[in-house]
Amino acid sequence: MRPVNTIVIHCSATPEGRPVSVETIRRWHLDRGWRDIGYHYVIDLDGNVHEGRPIGQIGAHVRGHNTGTIGICYVGGVTNDGRLAPKDTRTPAQVEALRSLVAELAETYPGIMTVKGHRDFPRVAKACPCFDAQPELQPVVAAVRAGRLAPRSRPEPADPIEPAFPPDPEPNAGKSLLQSKTNLSAIGAFVTSVVTALTSLETWVAALVIVIAAGFAFWIIRERMQKARELGV
């Protein structure tokens, strides 16, 4: 578990009431050349909490202050009248979900002592998150620390997000090699058993049978390897 001491609140800076998915935000950030979405959590209009960048990884949401922080973004933050003016557009469900998520994170990460809005950091010329986050949410952390507030369980998101970087699959070449070794072991065991069974026969008969069995075994290997190449495995 990486050390975390601060929760940072953001908005997506999208018009009030317009649905925006976590995958859309992820695409925006990837288009900027980032390796993943910058936020660790995104709260949609219905109050569903979606996971973004894995929480064990340092985010990309406050320049110079990403280490030791967790970034939470709610969908919205500007007016829908065409002016795109900063506005606290949070729905009641988003307000409740944000409060619950902050409490949950404060419980999970004992080092968390501070909640800030993006605009509360030095040299940030933005209105984000378009409401005064610190006085609203700092008391939530204080209440958890004092044992006066237990975090509520949050519902699973309506559209679970796949990890941004799933583990690499086992290389196909390695798989083919492993299969080939397994085939050779099995065929070797077969040939050995044939040799053992034929030791009681005439020498020339046993040798002939062994040659036939070996030829059949290598034919099987060749056919399996050809099939594997055709399937691309």
* Per-residue model confidence as pLDDT tens digits over 49-87: 999 999 999 999 999 999 999 999 999 999 999 999 999
* pLDDT, greater one: 12 or 210: 12
**Residue for token pair 């219905």:** 46
**Structural domain boundaries enclosing 56:** 6-145
DSSP letter, residue 5 = -
Query: Does the structure show a pLDDT above 90 at 226?
Result: no
In a domain, 43, yes or no: yes
pLDDT 10s digits, 25-59:
999 999 999 999 999 999 999 999 999 999 999 99
Residue 46's CATH number? 3.40.80.10
168 pLDDT higher than 60: no
**Overall pTM surpassing 0.85 (yes/no):** no
Q: How far is CA 198 from CA 59, 129, 187, 191, 207, in A?
A: 69, 83, 17, 11, 9
Residues 110 and 220 in one domain: no
What pLDDT does residue 159 have? Answer: 41
Asked if residue 156 belongs to a domain, the reply is no
C-alpha 183: how far from chain center: 36
For the ranges 33-37, 141-145, 225-229, the lowest mean pLDDT is seen at 225-229
Q: Which residues contact 12 (CB under 8 A, 6 or more apart)?
A: 20, 25, 42, 73, 74, 75, 76, 77
Instruction: Give the contacts of 44 (CB within 8 A, at least 6 positions apart).
Output: 19, 20, 21, 22, 50, 75, 94
Looking at the domain assignment, is residue 44 inside a domain? yes
Question: Is residue 141 located within the same domain as residue 177?
Answer: no
Q: What is the 3-state secondary structure (H, E, C) of 30-42?
A: HHCCCCCCCCCEE
Q: Residue 201 has what pLDDT?
A: 53
> Does one domain contain both 115 and 212?
no
d(Cα 23, Cα 50) in Å, to the nearest integer?
10
Q: Is residue 187 part of a domain?
A: yes
Confidence of residue 189 (pLDDT cuts 50, 70, 90): low
Q: Is there a domain that residue 155 lies in?
A: no
Q: What is the mean pLDDT of residues 97-102?
A: 98
Residue 10 within any structural domain of the chain:
yes
Look at residues 145, 163, 183 and tell me which one is the last residue of a structural domain.
145
**Higher-confidence residue: 174 or 65?**
65
Is the confidence at residue 152, as pLDDT, over 60?
A: no
Tally of domains within the chain: 2
Residue 148's pLDDT band (boundaries 50, 70, 90)? confident
Domain boundary residue, one of 109, 130, 145: 145
Instruction: For residue 123, tell me if it sits in a domain.
Output: yes
Residue 157 lies in a domain: no
